[in-house]
């Protein structure tokens, strides 16, 4: 155990490293082309003029609510590639026309998005709000296709918004990703659409809405586990305005990455599940937000990435917590339903096992998420707490001016990760705990400790976990931006992009 690692483990229990050894001979290390930071398509893209006209309030537009459903829609896929088309299923509270405007999220001179096109007027009708399935709670719409978009070859991979603006002045959204898996970018960002859907309570109307946490009681109150769904569908809008819960974590990370000039492309968690992502094509894969709901296929491919020498960075917390299945939706379309039974008996567990917490799979917590990540979810915060720095001499904190024991205010928030001595640890790995932040768990008022973690295996492959929801927001969100977090994250990504032999 290195001195810095031993110091980082103080008061947290001894952190063991099974079979760690010095990095192997040069010929055994993965080879990558030189990083293209500052000279790549992303840099050229962000020279374009930005626009914030997509926001509610611009041009006198008004926001949408689920109980009135003034203008809402959903996309036929979470991602789409060049030359492919994506359908939008749109409903309005009255028969009328709307426009669909498409924006790409990025830096764009700190404006944050770029306008790409606006449709001709699109005729929309009121769509039927289906009731939940009596057995699974599944809510799946069958709205007709209102508008189809074919992705131009010139559009760069990124996070996109389709903006629906009705003739009577209401505005709603749905996100999607344009992927470019043919291009060997330095960095791939994976956007957590499976987790978006797990939290989607549409329709938030006091009657029908359900997600994987709760639903409504018979008297219209918000219930809990007895009322929740076991299955949720992508064939429905995201609740209220249509921006998924925690979407700002991902857009903040994307804006920061593009402002930093990294050569980056984008995909979704569904792409990871479906095998569209070849990990060996990227130097680093960044999981930008709250990435809680993972299928076995997703986890297998993340582990394959590490084996292939691809670095992983998880910028938030509570990652890989629930095991899910992706199942077919209406008309047999694959992977349109996220299934997770949690504590309830799973009627069709299959070879991957039941849809429970990952740490409950296998004997002796064999599949616990800490076995890949180095830390795992350990609590919900009653209120934000400071991140307490450890290992300040580590290259990760270089240039931040921070010292051991320094506190970054309110950085640990919502949910936290920490190291658990009783759970599996990453094999063949040296781990450094870069923070040790006490906080109060709101569930029982107990004390817990948050850890930011960095693991490095014998090949020099890194797995980073920030361990808090506010980390990605601190990169670019106007209310949370923090230059020390920006610098540390830049140190991390730059280190990942270095040729292995030059460290």
* pLDDT at site 365: 92
pLDDT in tens, 355-380: 999 999 988 899 999 999 999 999 99
What pLDDT does 5 receive?
A: 34
Residue 500 — very low, low, confident or very high, per pLDDT cuts 50/70/90? confident
Q: What percent of the chain has pLDDT over 90?
A: 90
pLDDT in tens, 259-316: 999 999 999 999 999 999 998 899 999 999 999 999 999 999 999 999 999 999 999 9
DSSP SS3 for 120: coil
pTM: 0.94
Taking the C-alpha atoms of residue 291 and residue 268, their distance in angstroms, rounded to an integer, is 11
- pLDDT tens across 3-49, in order? 333 333 333 433 433 333 333 433 455 667 789 998 999 999 999 99
Determine the pLDDT at residue 362. Answer: 85
pLDDT of residue 331: 83
Q: What is the pLDDT of residue 1?
A: 34
Percent of the chain with pLDDT over 70: 93
Number of residues that this document lists for the chain: 503
- Distances from the Cα of 439 to the Cαs of 13, 15, 405, 409, 444, in angstroms? 17, 21, 15, 12, 12
- Position 330 pLDDT exceeds 90: no
C-alpha span between 343 and 322 (Å, rounded)? 11
The angle subtended at Cα 70 by Cα 65 and Cα 74, nearest 5°, is: 85
Contact 237, 146 (CB under 8 A): no
Judging by beta carbons within 10 Å of its beta carbon (0-12, 13-18, 19+), is residue 222 exposed, middle or buried? middle
DSSP string spanning 276-332? Answer: ---GGG-SEEEE-S---EEEHHHHHHHHHHHHTT-EEEE-SSS-S-EEEEEE--GGG
450-468 pLDDT tens trace: 999 999 999 999 999 999 9
Domain boundaries 3-23+179-502, corresponding CATH code: 3.40.50.880
Which band of pLDDT confidence, cut at 50, 70 and 90, is reported for residue 124?
very high
Task: Quick: pLDDT tens for 149-199.
Answer: 999 999 999 999 999 999 999 999 999 999 999 999 999 999 999 999 999
In which element (H, E) is residue 471 found? helix 470-476
Q: What is the mean pLDDT of the chain?
A: 93
Which residues, listed in sequence order, are joined to residue 454 by a DSSP beta bridge? 432, 464
pLDDT of residue 28: 55
User: Cβ contacts of residue 423 below 8 Å, gap of 6+?
Assistant: 359, 365, 368, 370, 371, 376
């Amino acid at each position: 155990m290195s001195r810095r690692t031993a110091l980082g483990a103080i008061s947290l229990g001894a952190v063991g490293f099974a079979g760690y050894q010095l990095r192997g001979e040069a010929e055994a290390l993965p080879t990558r082309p030189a990083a293209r930071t500052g000279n790549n398509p992303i840099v050229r893209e962000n020279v374009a003029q930005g626009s914030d006209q997509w926001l509610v309030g611009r041009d006198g537009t008004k926001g949408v609510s689920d109980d009135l459903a003034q203008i809402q829609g959903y996309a036929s896929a979470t991602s789409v590639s060049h030359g492919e088309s994506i359908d939008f299923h749109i409903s309005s509270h009255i028969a009328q026309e709307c426009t669909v405007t498409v924006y790409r999220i990025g830096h764009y001179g700190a404006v944050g998005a770029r306008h790409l096109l606006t449709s001709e007027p699109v005729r929309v009708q009121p769509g039927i709000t289906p009731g939940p399935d009596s057995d699974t709670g599944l809510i799946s719409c069958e709205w007709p296709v209102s508008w189809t978009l074919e992705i131009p070859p010139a559009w760069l991979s990124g996070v996109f918004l389709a903006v629906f603006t009705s003739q009577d002045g209401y505005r709603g959204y749905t996100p999607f990703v344009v992927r470019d898996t043919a291009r060997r970018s330095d960095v791939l960002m994976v956007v957590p659409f499976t987790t978006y859907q797990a939290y989607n309570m549409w329709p938030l109307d006091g009657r029908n809405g359900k997600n994987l946490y709760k639903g409504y009681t018979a008297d219209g109150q918000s219930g809990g586990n007895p009322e929740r769904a076991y299955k949720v569908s992508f064939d429905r809008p995201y609740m209220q305005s249509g921006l998924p819960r925690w979407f700002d974590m991902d857009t903040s990370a994307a804006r920061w990455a593009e402002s930093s000039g990294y050569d980056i492309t984008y995909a979704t968690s569904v792409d990871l599940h479906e095998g569209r992502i070849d990990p060996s094509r990227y130097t680093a894969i960044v999981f930008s937000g709250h990435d809680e709901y993972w299928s076995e296929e997703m986890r297998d491919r993340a582990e394959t990435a590490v084996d292939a020498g691809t670095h992983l960075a998880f910028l938030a917390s509570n990652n890989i917590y629930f095991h899910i299945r992706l199942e077919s939706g209406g008309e047999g379309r694959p992977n349109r339903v996220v299934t997770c039974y949690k504590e309830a008996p799973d009627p069709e567990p299959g070879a991957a096992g039941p849809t429970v917490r990952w740490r409950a799979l296998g004997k002796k917590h064999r599949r616990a998420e800490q076995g890949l990540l180095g830390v795992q979810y350990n609590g919900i915060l009653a209120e934000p707490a400071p991140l307490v720095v450890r290992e300040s001499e580590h290259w990760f904190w270089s240039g931040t001016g921070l010292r051991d024991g320094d506190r970054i205010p309110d950085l640990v928030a919502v949910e936290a990760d920490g190291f658990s001595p009783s759970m599996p640890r990453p094999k063949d790995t040296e781990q450094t705990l870069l923070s040790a932040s006490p906080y109060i768990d709101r569930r029982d008022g107990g004390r817990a400790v948050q850890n930011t973690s960095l693991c490095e295996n014998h090949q020099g492959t890194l797995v980073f976990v920030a361990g808090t929801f506010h980390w990605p927001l601190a990169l670019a969100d106007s209310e949370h931006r923090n230059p020390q977090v920006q610098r540390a994250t830049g140190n991390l990504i730059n280190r990942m992009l270095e040729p292995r032999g030059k460290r």
